[in-house]
RNA sequence: GGGCCGCUAGCUCAGCUGGUAGAGCAACGCCCUUUUAAGGCGUGGGUCGAAGGUUCGAAUCCUUCGCGGCUCACCA
């Protein structure tokens, strides 16, 4: 009986590693002695020709020609060819870890190797290292993807990014540039006298925004906390503490939609500057983007959504009222009533009545203007209705000292003069809380501790908050956020193949209850049936048994649940605590027919009698494993 | 959440209106002193995402589910 290809491949490679151990080699040594990166050698060939160098990296190609062997080693900098000659390569020497020509078959594509030898050119002119010695640094026991195409399946790329960047090294560029970007951002702020702080990710209250948070629990304190949806309230506490210029490059967590420009976990650079207002920040934001463009990318013109965006020119600054008037011809500042404003809205084809004239302006802006703002534009003067943490403008208190950054039709940051009047802040928050409770049945926490901070006093302050990923998308010219986040969040999966390799007998399913499903216990279910409360609206009920086996086969326990469709209209019922045939050994998994028969009779005996006229379809048993036991 | 699309060997992909599951790369064996998509000869490799259904017969048709993609909506 032969194995599946991957299983066989893996066994062969493990056998080679074992052979190496038998021979006295360590296939996983801890040290290597690289002297040069590949690119250093190809860039400085004239100076290095004939010199002895040591290179190390992953073996990406391997061409045997009898007494000659060619291959390419790939390191972080690039690739360089190995030109191996039988008459030059030293013999196998376990004490030094050297692998001689006779044993070269023990290393292969995918392995990490180290080669020491002279820098030379082959007859075809390729700069190469001609090794005197070759050492195996790390044995690889999985096959690399197809060498020409690499990974193409999007899911495979996202789940195994390390393979994608191995096969197509140019795909590392965006990530390298993001790293440089972060360094440049820090340099930019540090040079301007800002101090970087780490603010809490675990927060007892979530504030500074209206997003849905992730919740978690602190055992030691016995209380629930939230992952940060924003860091701004903590930065303001730092200003109150006497620091004039602070920033954080923090992680933000928002339990909301995922699409090509939204990710549940993202990063932002957030600043607070005391003794300045939003106008200072307009200059700061513009300088920041220009600084990053020039210092990291060496240019100011980028392509965003197929259109050119120039960060070098002075950015357009326009009030929201003017921006809407420019595009639609409607001047919302002249609207004297909500009804008038809503009439203007519906005249431009937006039939969603808003609660205030300010909200009408915002709606018109979002619908008609936002997508047209390709060149970097700062839009200021938001209605106070939507700016609870911002200060009103002196000359027009209906509008906030606030601006948003728009680039390529995408919002890239929100910024304002911080409201530091504690009495007004409290009033605003309370009324906002009430309206939100009425409107959305959502309770937003009031952070009284923060109000107290404001009562002690915070000097005039202004902050900016450009998103790192949005910025990275602009500068690396990617249109999908997954391509600027190396490890995007995905549902966990365990392939049947891995389940087999790692000795997990059954298919692994992640147990979860979808929204809208009803979860009840077996006892509750039975009593509902007995009382006749549940009866099928349709003539057919579909039952899917899910079972989990604990402990040793033949002796362990069985638990599971039934998924039942057709008993409650449009809902799926999940009955937990289903124990088929109590007392019987169900663990003979090899006889699936017998297993199924036992489950079927158990289900039919259990519920079939309650509605005799109904067809009950029982699907094959699905075996569960606790994913937590086998994660990773 | 809605719509559309995809899932076949480790990887990249064929597989027509239902009729014995295919190729290349990778792997294994042998040959080869200038290859770089090396080449030549030979060999092995599959729960066609899962479960049901229709059928004499299903990778193919139907239903449900899983995972993913694109897109719209929602959400900053």
| pLDDT higher at A562 or A75 | A75
Nearest nucleotide (C1') to the CA of residue A130?
A: B34
Using alpha carbons, list the distances in angstroms from residue A527 to A521, A567, A606: 10, 15, 12
Rounded-to-5 percentages of helix, strand, coil across chain A: 35, 25, 40
Strand, helix or coil at A578?
coil
**pLDDT over 70 at A45, yes or no:** yes
| Order of strands across the sheet that contains A461-463 | A195-196, A245-253, A265-274, A461-463, A410-417, A402-407, A377-380, A316-319
For residue A434, pLDDT beyond 70: no
Token pair for A116: 């020491």
- Tell me which residue of A380, A362, A367, A371 sits closest to A411, measured CA to CA: A371
Categorise residue A569: left if φ over 0, alpha if ψ from -120 to 50, beta otherwise: beta
Mean pLDDT, range A278-294, rounded to an integer = 95
The residue whose CA lies nearest the C1' of nucleotide B31 is A66
Q: Which of A's residues 514-543 have CB atoms within 7 A of nucleic strand B?
A: 514-515
| Fold annotation for A5-144 | OB fold (Dihydrolipoamide Acetyltransferase, E2P) (2.40.50)
**Distance from residue A478 (CA) to nucleotide B15 (C1'), in Å?**
35
Q: What is the pLDDT of residue A588?
A: 45
Assess whether A262 (CB) lies less than 7 A from strand B. Answer: yes
pLDDT reported for residue A628: 29
| Within A 102-161, residues with CB less than 7 Å from strand B | 105, 108-109, 122-126, 128, 142-156, 158
Count each helix (H run) and each strand (E run) in chain A, helices first. 18, 24
> Which is nearest to A468 in space by CA: A226, A265, A190, A259?
A265
Q: How far is the CA of A7 from the C1' of B22 (A)?
A: 22
Q: Nearest residue to nucleotide B64 when comparing alpha carbons to its C1'?
A: A542
Secondary structure, 3-state, A519-555: EEEHHHHHHHHHCCCCCCCCCEEEEEEEEEEECCCCC
- Please state which of the ranges A95-99, A274-278, A529-533, A625-629 shows the lowest mean pLDDT: A625-629
Place of tokens 């928002």: A254
**The total number of residues written for chain A in this structure:** 632
Calpha distance A519→A589 (Å, rounded) = 27
Kindly tell me the burial class for residue A118, based on how many C-beta atoms sit within 10 Å of its own C-beta (0-12, 13-18, 19 or more).
middle
Residue A245 pLDDT: 97
CA–CA separation, A560 and A550 (whole Å): 11
Which residue has its C-alpha nearest to nucleotide B52's C1'? A619
pLDDT in tens, A576-620: 666 655 444 444 444 455 566 667 777 777 776 777 677 777 776
A622 touches strand B (CB under 7 A): yes
Nucleotide nearest to A482 (CA to C1'): B69
Cα separation, A178 vs A195, in Å, equals: 21
Q: What is the pLDDT of residues A363-416, one digit of tens each?
A: 899 888 988 888 999 999 999 888 878 899 999 999 999 999 999 888 888 898
Strand B reaches within 7 A of the A620 CB: yes
- Give the nucleotide with minimal C1' distance to the Cα of A366: B76
Gap from A4 CA to B20 C1', Å: 21
- Find the residue closest to B34 using CA and C1' atoms: A123
Is A546:A563 a contact under the CB 8 Å cutoff?
A: yes
pLDDT of residue A581: 52
- Residue A351, token pair as written in the block: 């039939």
Nearest nucleotide to A156 by CA–C1' distance? B68
Q: For strands A571-576 and A557-568, give the pairing.
A: antiparallel
Instruction: Compute and round to an integer the Cα radius of gyration of chain A.
Output: 32
Over residues A85-111, mean pLDDT: 94
CA of A480 to C1' of B73 (A): 19
How many Å apart are A186 CA and B18 C1'?
64
Report the distance from CA of residue A1 to the C1' of nucleotide B20 in Å, as an integer.
21
User: How much of chain A, in percent, has pLDDT values that exceed 70?
Assistant: 83
Q: Would you state the pLDDT for residue A603?
A: 73
**Which residues 196-215 in chain A have a CB closer than 7 A to strand B?**
209-212
The helix (H) or strand (E) run that includes residue A236 is: helix A232-240
Which nucleotide does the CA of A87 lie closest to, via C1'? B33
Indicate whether A110 pLDDT > 50: yes
Q: Residues A252, A230: contact at Cβ < 8 Å?
A: yes
Q: A22 pLDDT band (50/70/90 cuts)?
A: very high
Q: Kindly tell me if the per-residue pLDDT of A437 is higher than 70.
A: no
Q: Supply the ipTM of this predicted assembly.
A: 0.89
> Across the strands, what pairs with A223?
A218
Residues 236-255 of A with CB under 7 A from strand B: 254
Burial of A595 from C-beta contacts in 10 A (0-12 / 13-18 / 19+):
buried
Question: pLDDT higher for A430 or A236?
Answer: A236
Give distance CA A495 / C1' B47 (Å). Answer: 13
Query: Which of these, A45, A34, A36, A63, lies nearest to A121 by C-alpha position?
Result: A45
Q: Average per-residue pLDDT in chain A?
A: 84
Is the pLDDT higher at A503 or at A472? Answer: A472
* C1’ B24 / CA A153, Å: 17
As a whole number of angstroms, the distance between CA A459 and CA A451 comes to 14
What DSSP designation does A244 have? S
Residues A249 and A178: beta-carbon distance below 8 Å: no
**A281/B73 CA-to-C1' distance in Å:** 34
Q: Give the C-alpha separation, A325 to A133, whole Å.
A: 74
Parallel/antiparallel/unpaired status of strands A461-463 and A410-417:
antiparallel
Q: What average pLDDT does range A31-55 have in this prediction?
A: 96
Whole-angstrom distance, CA of residue A457 vs CA of residue A430 = 20
Backbone torsions φ then ψ of A107, nearest 5 degrees? -115, 150
Instruction: Judge whether residue A505 contacts strand B, using its CB and a 7 Å cut-off.
Output: no
Q: Which of A205-214, A404-413, A463-472, A502-511 has the lowest mean pLDDT?
A: A502-511
What dihedral angle (degrees, nearest 10) is formed by the CA atoms of A438, A441, A445, A448?
20
| A317-374 per-position pLDDT tens digit | 999 999 999 988 889 988 888 888 888 888 888 877 888 888 889 989 988 898 888 8
Residue A155 has pLDDT above 70, yes or no: yes
- Highest mean pLDDT range out of A376-390, A450-464, A513-527? A450-464
Residue A205 has which token pair?
């209250």
Does residue A536 have a pLDDT over 70? no
Instruction: Provide the positions of strand B that have an atom within 7 A of a protein CB.
Output: 1, 6, 9-13, 24-29, 31-39, 44-47, 49-52, 64, 66-76
- Domain residue limits, chain A: 5-144, 173-315+375-483, 496-630
Strand B near-CB residues (< 7 Å), A 556-575 = 565
Instruction: Find all residues with CB under 8 Å of A249, minimum gap 6, and list them.
Output: A182, A185, A186, A196, A267, A268, A269, A468
Q: Which of residues 469-488 of A touch strand B (CB under 7 A)?
A: 480, 482, 488
Distances (CA, A) of A265 to A236, A261, A442, A452: 22, 12, 22, 30
Is residue A174 within a helix (H) or strand (E), and if so which, with residue range?
helix A173-191
- Tell which CATH classification among 3.20.20.70, 3.10.105.10, 3.30.930.10, 3.40.80.10 matches the domain A173-315+375-483: 3.30.930.10
Question: For the residues A431-455, what does the mean pLDDT come to?
Answer: 68
Task: Tell me which protein residue sits closest to nucleotide B45, measuring alpha carbon to C1'.
Answer: A5
Listed in sequence order, the DSSP H helices in A556-607 are 592-607
pLDDT given at position A630:
28
Per mean pLDDT, which range of A461-465, A469-473, A495-499 is the poorest? A495-499
Instruction: Output the distance from A490 CA to B68 C1' rounded to whole Å.
Output: 10
Hey, how many other C-beta atoms are within 10 angstroms of the C-beta on A268?
23
Amino acid A609 CA to nucleotide B47 C1' distance, rounded Å: 35
pLDDT of residue A571: 65
Least confident among A20-24, A152-156, A191-195, A527-531: A527-531
pLDDT reported for residue A352: 79
Any strand B atom closer than 7 Å to A285 CB = no
User: How would DSSP label each residue in A9-75?
Assistant: HHHHHHHHHHHHHHHT--SS-S-------HHHHHHTHHHHTT-EEEEEEEEEEEEEETTEEEEEEEE
What is the maximum span of chain A, computed from C-alpha positions, in angstroms?
93
CA dihedral A49, A53, A57, A59 (to 10 degrees): 60
DSSP secondary-structure letter at A464?
-
Q: For residue A399, give both structure tokens.
A: 């509008």
pLDDT of residue A247: 97
Q: Say whether the CB atom of A19 is under 7 angstroms from strand B.
A: no
């Amino acid at each position: 009986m032969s194995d599946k290809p991957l299983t066989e491949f893996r066994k062969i490679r493990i056998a080679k590693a074992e052979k190496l151990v038998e021979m006295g080699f360590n296939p996983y040594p801890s040290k290597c002695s690289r002297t040069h990166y590949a690119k250093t050698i190809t860039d400085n060939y004239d100076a290095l020709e004939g010199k002895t160098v040591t290179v190390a990296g992953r073996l990406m190609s391997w061409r045997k020609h009898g007494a000659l062997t060619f291959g390419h080693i790939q390191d972080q900098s690039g690739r360089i060819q190995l030109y191996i000659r039988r008459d030059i390569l030293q013999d196998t020497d376990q004490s030094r870890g050297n692998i001689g020509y006779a044993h070269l078959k023990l290393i292969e594509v995918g392995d990490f190797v180290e080669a020491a030898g002279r820098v030379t050119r082959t007859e075809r002119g390729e700069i190469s290292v001609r090794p005197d010695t070759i050492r195996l640094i790390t044995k690889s026991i999985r096959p690399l993807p197809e060498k020409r195409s690499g990974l193409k399946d999007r899911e495979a790329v996202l789940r195994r990014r390390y393979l994608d960047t191995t096969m197509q090294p140019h795909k590392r560029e965006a990530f390298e540039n993001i790293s440089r970007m972060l360094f440049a951002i820090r340099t930019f702020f540090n040079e301007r006298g800002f101090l970087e702080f780490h603010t809490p990710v675990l927060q007892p209250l979530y504030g500074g925004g209206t997003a849905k948070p992730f919740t978690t629990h602190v055992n030691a304190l016995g209380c629930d906390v939230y992952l940060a949806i924003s860091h701004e309230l903590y930065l303001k506490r730092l200003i109150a503490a006497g620091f004039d210029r602070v920033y954080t490059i923090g992680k933000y967590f928002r339990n909301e939609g995922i699409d090509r420009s939204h990710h549940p976990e993202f990063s932002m650079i957030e600043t607070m500057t005391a003794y300045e207002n939003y106008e200072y920040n307009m200059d700061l934001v513009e300088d920041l983007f220009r600084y990053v463009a020039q210092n990291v990318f060496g240019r100011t013109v980028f392509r965003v959504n197929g259109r050119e965006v120039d960060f070098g020119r002075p950015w357009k600054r326009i009030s929201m009222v003017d921006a809407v008037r420019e595009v639609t011809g409607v001047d919302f500042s002249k609207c004297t009533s909500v009804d008038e404003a809503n009439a203007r809205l519906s005249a431009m084809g937006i039939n969603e009545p808003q609660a205030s004239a300010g909200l009408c302006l915002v709606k018109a802006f979002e619908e008609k203007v936002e997508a047209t703002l390709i060149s970097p534009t700062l839009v200021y003067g938001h209605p106070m209705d939507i700016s609870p943490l911002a200060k009103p403008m002196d000359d027009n208190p209906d509008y906030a000292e606030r601006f948003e950054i728009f680039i390529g039709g995408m919002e890239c940051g929100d910024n304002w003069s911080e409201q530091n009047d504690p009495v007004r802040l409290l009033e605003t928050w309370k009324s906002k809380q009430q309206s939100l409770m009425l409107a959305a049945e959502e309770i937003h926490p009031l952070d009284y501790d923060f109000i107290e901070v404001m009562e002690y006093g915070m000097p005039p302050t202004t902050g900016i908050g450009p998103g790192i990923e949005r910025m990275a998308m602009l500068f690396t010219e990617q249109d999908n956020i997954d391509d600027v986040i190396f490890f995007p969040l995905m549902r966990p999966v365990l392939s049947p193949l891995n389940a087999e390799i790692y000795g997990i007998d059954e298919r692994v399913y992640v147990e979860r209850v979808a929204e809208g499903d009803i979860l009840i216990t077996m006892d509750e279910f039975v009593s509902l049936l007995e009382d006749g409360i549940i009866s099928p609206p349709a003539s057919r009920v579909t039952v899917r048994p899910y079972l989990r086996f604990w402990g040793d086969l033949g002796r362990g326990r069985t638990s599971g649940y039934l998924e039942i469709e057709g008993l409650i209209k449009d809902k799926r019922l999940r009955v937990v605590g289903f124990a088929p045939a109590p007392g019987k050994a169900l663990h003979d998994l090899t006889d699936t027919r017998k297993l199924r028969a036992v489950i079927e009779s158990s289900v039919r005996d259990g519920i079939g009698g309650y509605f005799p006229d109904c067809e009950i379809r029982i699907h094959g048993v699905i075996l569960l494993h606790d994913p937590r036991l086998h994660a990773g």
